[in-house]
Amino acid sequence: MKHILVRYGELTLKGSNRNFFINKLLQNIKFKLKPFREEVVFIKSHNSLKIDVLSDNLLDEVLANLQDTFGIYSLSVVDEVENDIDKISQVALNIAKESPRGSFKLEVERKDKTFMLTSQEIKQVVAKNILFNTDNLTVDVHNPNTKIEIIVKREKTYIFTSRITALKGLPVGVSGKGLCLLSGGIDSPVASFLAMKRGMQVDFLHFMTPPHTTPEALEKVFSLTKKIARFNQNSFSLYICDFGLLLQELMHIKDESYRITLMRRMFIRIANQLSKTINAKALITGEALGQVASQTIESIGVIDSVSDLPIIRPVVTYDKEEIIKISKAIDTYETSILPFDDVCSMYVPKNPVTKPRKYRAEQQEEQILWEEILDHTIKNSIKHYIVKEGNIIEGTGEKNQKGTEVNSKG
């Protein structure tokens, strides 16, 4: 049997709300480890969680799943021993003998202040035992070949040699729900990942214009959603909106340089209406300031003016290289760069406006019949999918408070 010590990190600073955050993390961990539920045992304590893995062969898989869980600061595979100095010394000696020859360092943390020895005294006893019973091992407090850590808690003592860095952040679900406008490019999957890191459950909304957007483009969106799923809540939704009728209407505006600005304003309006139905508290986009014409601060202001909800832009200050680095780390990059265009990239005007004015955008909108078409699109052209345990299945149709479906299955 192997033991994994899970550290909460930031969650221990939450004061009176600590249990809420820790319980949510434990719920998310149990979902992540559902395939191994017969082989794992959970023991929760004040500032950490111990997971006993009954089968040694499953250790690597369990660790991999835990490393993908927001809210975990770090992990260690530990030896568990009774709070007895002789037993602690013996286990530390066994670890030292199995470690690379050369130097070692001891770090001791005595959380149980009733233990008969202080941290310094424990260190002295254990180090002396190692040096006396091994050859060619020396103490090096600056650059040791092996660092042996000992944590004395009230219930047990834990001894280990490494800390595996995890995703940190907050457990997904403690910060409410957000709706991410998923384009199919590099930025929006990264934005959703970063929103999840701050505890937000994320649903997704993607816009397409068949037949101009191909079935392969839709498969690309499905693939991205599945890749992001391992960081998200145990079950979430993907909405696919057919934007074709609205796009046809937008092609009639007099100043084509405003086309992308107006398109994004329509996206935000649709996302706001859908959010009311699914109880999302914020919108999430992958816009980075100054990256393209529609992402200047003036454009962002004009687009935001139609939203009743806050719009979170997690990558707003990132450059492209930084965003790509994260996308590679979360395994969305290779899918994001597949050559299947999204709505925005297909209909960018030759000279898009970089400093749009709100009144000019409103003047352009007054020239077209967008309100009726937008209402029709929300009621009839949004398809709902449920993403659960790596599978995407067609939903049954979300309903608003009046019982009217806001999306169709067809």
Give the residue range(s) of CATH 3.30.2130.30 domains in the chain: 2-165
The domain 177-394: what is its CATH number? Answer: 3.40.50.620
Query: Do the strands 40-44 and 137-139 form a parallel or antiparallel pair, or are they unpaired?
Result: unpaired
Q: Looking at residue 211, what is its pLDDT?
A: 77
H or E stretch covering 323: helix 320-329
Q: Give the C-alpha separation, 65 to 251, whole Å.
A: 47
Query: Do the strands 391-394 and 382-388 form a parallel or antiparallel pair, or are they unpaired?
Result: antiparallel
Q: Looking at residue 342, what is its pLDDT?
A: 60
Q: Give the C-alpha separation, 29 to 168, whole Å.
A: 13
- DSSP assignment of 250-311 equals HTT-S-GGGHHHHHHHHHHHHHHHHHHHHT--EEE----TTSSGGGSHHHHHHHHTT-SS-E
Q: Give the C-alpha separation, 204 to 191, whole Å.
A: 11
The domain 2-165: what is its CATH number? Answer: 3.30.2130.30
Q: Which amino acid is at 58?
A: L
Residue 122 Cα distances to 60, 67, 96, 144, 380, angstroms: 31, 31, 16, 19, 70
Question: Using the 8-state DSSP alphabet, how is residue 107 labeled?
Answer: E
Q: What is the residue-level pLDDT of the chain in tens, covering all 410 positions? A: 999 999 988 887 777 888 899 999 999 999 999 999 999 999 987 678 999 999 999 999 999 999 999 999 999 999 999 999 999 999 999 999 998 778 999 999 999 999 999 999 999 999 999 999 998 899 999 999 999 999 999 889 999 999 999 999 999 999 999 999 999 899 999 999 999 999 999 999 999 988 777 888 899 999 999 999 999 978 899 999 999 999 999 988 989 899 999 999 999 999 999 999 999 999 999 999 988 877 899 999 999 999 999 999 999 999 999 999 999 999 999 999 998 766 555 566 678 889 999 999 999 999 999 999 999 999 999 999 999 887 899 886 543 333 334 443 33
Q: Looking at residue 341, what is its pLDDT?
A: 62
Alpha carbons within 13 A on the beta-carbon side of 193: 27
Which residues, other chains included, contact 105 with Cβ-Cβ below 8 Å and sequence gap of 6+?
A: 139, 140, 141, 144, 146, 147, 148
Residue corresponding to tokens 């690309």: 220
How many residues does the structure list for the chain? 410
Give backbone dihedrals phi and psi of 236, rounded to 5 degrees, phi first.
-150, 175
Which residues, other chains included, contact 189 with Cβ-Cβ below 8 Å and sequence gap of 6+?
A: 182, 224, 227, 228, 286, 327, 330, 332, 336
Query: Do the strands 157-160 and 74-81 form a parallel or antiparallel pair, or are they unpaired?
Result: antiparallel
Q: Looking at residue 399, what is its pLDDT?
A: 37
What residues are paired with 180 via a beta bridge? 204, 284
Give the residue range(s) of CATH 3.40.50.620 domains in the chain: 177-394
CB 180 within 8 A of CB 205: yes
Q: Give the C-alpha separation, 98 to 302, whole Å.
A: 64
